Amino acid sequence: MIQNQLHNQNRLPARTPANPATTARAGAAVRFEGVVKDFAGHRALAHFDLTLHPGELVALLGPSGSGKTTALRVLAGLEATDAGSILIDGVDVGALPTSRRDLGMVFQSYSLFPHLSAGENVEFGLRMRKVRGEERRARAAAALALVGLDAHYDRFAHQLSGGQQQRVALARALVTEPRVLLLDEPLSALDAKVRVALREEIRRIQTELGITTLFVTHDQDEALAVADRVAVMRAGSIEQVGAPEELYTRPASPFIADFVGLSNQLIGRVLHGFAQVHGAKLPLLDPSQADGRVTVSVRPEDLELGREGAPGVVLSSSFHGSLRRTTVRLEDGSSLVVQHDVRLRPTVGDQVGVTFTGAPVSVDPIPAPI
Amino acid sequence: MASVRPVAHTPTWPVRGFILGSIGLVFAIPIVAMVEFTLRRGLAGGHDFSRWTALFQGGFTGPYRTVLVALGNSVGLAMGTVAIMLLLLVPTLLLVHLRFPRLRRLMEFVCILPISIPAIVLVVGLAPVYSVLARVAGSGVWTLSFAYGVTVLPFAYRAIQANLDGVDVRTLSEAARTLGAGWGSVLVRVLIPNLRRGILAGAFIAVAVVLGEFTIASLLNRITLQTSLLVVSKADPYTAVILSLLALTFAFLLLLVIGRLGLVRTGRRRPTTGGQS
């Protein structure tokens, strides 16, 4: 598939179909089944289960130490699992060394081989697969063209910017037409503008090639922007997995609500299928929630600033281009962030009222004191 | 507004000339003195090339032939020592770096240890080892390379470790493995090319140490360049100095060749043109 794409874009001569190293194929299905990984007493992966469908881009999102990079590394074979299995297209690859798993990987730190030019870096994987000279160079040039760096074939890593180096690393990972593409926070070392441009480029290429991709990131914007599905990790296992919109609008827990987008954590009660907080009665995302004290997660955009509602004092207000966020301290001492129109410009110390729009909320029960 | 003078990062020409001149003098004075000594005509006074021409016209025959043999021994020992360093030290350092990083302190201690032990003490410990070695593998000169392998360890370790610290060996090897390279290819195609500077520096030092080593060879009764020069100097000090000068030139050329190997295709001096994109 990738090669078809490369051919289409660069009018390369068709390759010999008999060569197994260059045969185009669709993305593979990947399945983690109860994977456990311990590091010196610390459980990095706790019965980790995840399925990647062929051609899908799944972002693994989570705070530092949640085990997302470990999950990617065990799939790559760079770490051995302590229990569970990893299947690619239904075949357990646990016993296969990294070099035989047929994966492409882009690392967080710049990983181009410094002694080789950009073109030779891209050729490396093909050389390992014993692809002959002329075809190897043509495919490397085509892969570099795919990431817009065909003019940089002879440049060395130290002659390229960070963004260019990661593009070459992406070309290097893709040129062998791997079954799965692994991206280990590939954009985290880049500045904001380059990061946004490159993540869109990654998404474009991934969609065009249809390659199954696991994208590890701690940046929620990045995950929501590029992924077909986002899997949020916490303490070594998946907390929730779903489409970006689903995660944002229907978070399974206050942790997800807090981690994916901004949210206010307020103390309230559940009574007869509704959350009651600061005098408001809000529908629940999970109506089966039992009555009792709970932590209620409310998005800043689900609050309104005005004269009505819960009274409070403006603590700060910040401008974010198309919107403004204002922090208000309520009479009970709790603070919450309200997102509103930029034309409304509250100043510090203003007496304001906060009302709820009535959007459904997720709640987390507060254990009763023993 | 007054213009701001740029901060000087390099010394001015006179300062540079003074520093280089001073260092040059330190090296040049003994060499010039040696050359002058070999040109003396003895008690009659004056200078000529008679001792140089006599040595070369004689074709290094008689007692001087030993020096050529000894030179061959020393070069062979240097190569053996470098081979031991490459085959033992480099893979061990990589293994410790990649798989057993907790052993690094111990490794450093073991490698640095020989520098704190005087050669004479080292020989006392090595003598019984070599008496066993002689029974097993004979008492050829080449066996000295094991002892030299130990003596060059601190210098070679430092050179290679410094290079190792400057390269992200873990990421490079992982990148190569995900691209389909086995450990052999990772070592040969990725790690060694990126550690070339350190390995060459280690080899450089190993050759220099072996060519200049006297104590261990003498006390273990092996014939090397240094021990043979001592024998010649007892019979003819003038010729010994000529041979020392020739040995010095040979070592210089040898190290120059090794140094040139390190300059092959690094691509490091090309101008940087890439911006963030």
DSSP string, A196-241: HHHHHHHHHHHHHHT-EEEEEES-HHHHHHH-SEEEEEETTEEEEE
Cα–Cα dist A135/A350, whole Å: 70
DSSP B262: T
The residue-averaged pLDDT of B76-99 equals: 91
> Residue A158: what residue type?
H
pLDDT of residue B125: 87
Residue B92 pairs with which residues in a beta bridge? none
* Smallest Cα distance from B175 to chain A, Å: 7
pLDDT reading at A93 higher than 60: yes
Least confident range from A15-29, A92-106, B153-167, B257-271: namely: A15-29
Task: Note whether B175 contacts A107, CB cutoff 8 Å.
Answer: yes
Closest chain A CA to residue B191: A113
Task: Note whether A78 contacts B174, CB cutoff 8 Å.
Answer: yes
> Residue A301: what residue type?
E
Task: Note whether B267 contacts A156, CB cutoff 8 Å.
Answer: yes
Q: Which domains does chain B have, with CATH numbers?
A: 64-261 (1.10.3720.10)
Residues of B in contact with A113 (CB under 8 A): 172, 175-176, 190, 193-194
The DSSP-derived string for B140-178 is -GGGHHHHHHHHTHHHHHHHHHHHHHTS-HHHHHHHHHH
Which of A179, A95, A102 shows the shortest CA–CA distance to A86?
Answer: A95
pLDDT reading at B276 higher than 80: no
Nearest-CB residue to B274 (from A98, A100, A161): A161
**CB contact, 8 Å: B3 with chain A?**
no
Residues of B in contact with A77 (CB under 8 A): 177
Residues of A in contact with B173 (CB under 8 A): none
DSSP A143: H
pLDDT of residue A24: 39
C-beta separation of A197 from A177 below 8 A: no
Residues of A in contact with B182 (CB under 8 A): 97, 99
The mean pLDDT value of chain A amounts to 88
Task: Note whether A124 contacts B266, CB cutoff 8 Å.
Answer: no
At residue B8 the predicted structure's pLDDT band, cuts being 50, 70 and 90, is low
At residue B265 the predicted structure's pLDDT band, cuts being 50, 70 and 90, is low
The residue-averaged pLDDT of B172-177 equals: 95
Q: Is the dihedral of CA A139, A144, A148, A154 positive or negative?
A: negative
Q: To which residue do tokens 């032939």 refer?
A: B65
pLDDT tens-digit map of A163-179? 999 999 999 999 999 99
pLDDT of residue A49: 95
**CB contact, 8 Å: B5 with chain A?**
no
Task: Note whether A194 contacts B277, CB cutoff 8 Å.
Answer: yes
User: Which one has a higher pLDDT value, B175 or B54?
Assistant: B175
Residue A5 dihedral angles phi and psi, to the nearest 5°: -60, -45
* Smallest Cα distance from B7 to chain A, Å: 26
* Smallest Cα distance from A12 to chain B, Å: 23
pLDDT tens-digit map of B245-261? 988 888 888 878 877 77
Closest chain A CA to residue B195: A115
Cα–Cα dist A228/A226, whole Å: 7
pLDDT reading at B275 higher than 80: no
pLDDT of residue B269: 39
Closest chain B CA to residue A159: B272
DSSP B49: S
Nearest-CB residue to B277 (from A76, A161, A172): A161
pLDDT of residue A301: 92
User: Which one has a higher pLDDT value, B255 or B194?
Assistant: B194
Closest chain A CA to residue B172: A111
Cα–Cα dist A35/A351, whole Å: 53
Three-state SS at A321: coil
CA dist list (Å): B73 to A149, B85, B86, B135, B227: 54, 18, 20, 21, 11
Cα–Cα dist B204/B196, whole Å: 12
Nearest-CB residue to B179 (from A155, A162, A172): A172
C-beta separation of B55 from B64 below 8 A: yes
Cα–Cα dist B179/B166, whole Å: 23
Helix segments in chain A, DSSP class H: 2-10, 68-76, 118-128, 133-146, 162-174, 192-209, 220-226, 244-249, 254-259
**CB contact, 8 Å: B102 with chain A?**
no
In sequence order, the 6+-apart residues with CB closer than 8 A to the CB of B23 are none
Closest chain B CA to residue A173: B179
* Smallest Cα distance from A1 to chain B, Å: 18
Least confident range from A9-18, A54-63, A94-103: namely: A9-18
pLDDT of residue A18: 33
Nearest-CB residue to A128 (from B185, B267, B276): B185
The residue-averaged pLDDT of B115-119 equals: 87
pLDDT reading at B5 higher than 80: no
pLDDT reading at A56 higher than 80: yes
Task: Note whether B182 contacts A97, CB cutoff 8 Å.
Answer: yes
**CB contact, 8 Å: A191 with chain B?**
yes
State how beta strands A180-184 and A212-217 pair.
parallel
pLDDT of residue B48: 87
Total beta-carbon pairs less than 8 A apart between chain A and chain B? 97
pLDDT tens-digit map of A248-293? 888 888 888 888 888 898 999 999 889 999 889 999 988 888 899 9
Residues of B in contact with A100 (CB under 8 A): 180
Cα–Cα dist B27/B189, whole Å: 40
At residue A98 the predicted structure's pLDDT band, cuts being 50, 70 and 90, is very high
pLDDT of residue A25: 52
C-beta separation of A136 from A124 below 8 A: no
The residue-averaged pLDDT of B222-239 equals: 86
Three-state SS at B120: helix
**CB contact, 8 Å: B48 with chain A?**
no
pLDDT tens-digit map of B140-174? 888 888 899 999 999 999 999 999 999 999 999 99
Residues of B in contact with A76 (CB under 8 A): 174, 178
**CB contact, 8 Å: A114 with chain B?**
yes
Which of A7, A11, A51 shows the shortest CA–CA distance to A177?
Answer: A7
pLDDT reading at B271 higher than 80: no
Cα–Cα dist B231/B226, whole Å: 9
Q: Which domains does chain A have, with CATH numbers?
A: 2-249 (3.40.50.300), 262-365 (2.40.50.140)
Interhelix angle for B144-151 vs B196-212, to 10°? 120
Nearest-CB residue to A105 (from B178, B272, B276): B178
pLDDT of residue B7: 57
**CB contact, 8 Å: B167 with chain A?**
yes
pLDDT of residue A370: 62
Closest chain B CA to residue A124: B179
DSSP A161: -
Closest chain A CA to residue B194: A115
**CB contact, 8 Å: B194 with chain A?**
yes
Task: Note whether A159 contacts B274, CB cutoff 8 Å.
Answer: yes
pLDDT tens-digit map of A198-251? 999 999 999 989 999 999 999 988 999 999 999 999 999 999 999 999 998 888
Task: Note whether B277 contacts A117, CB cutoff 8 Å.
Answer: no
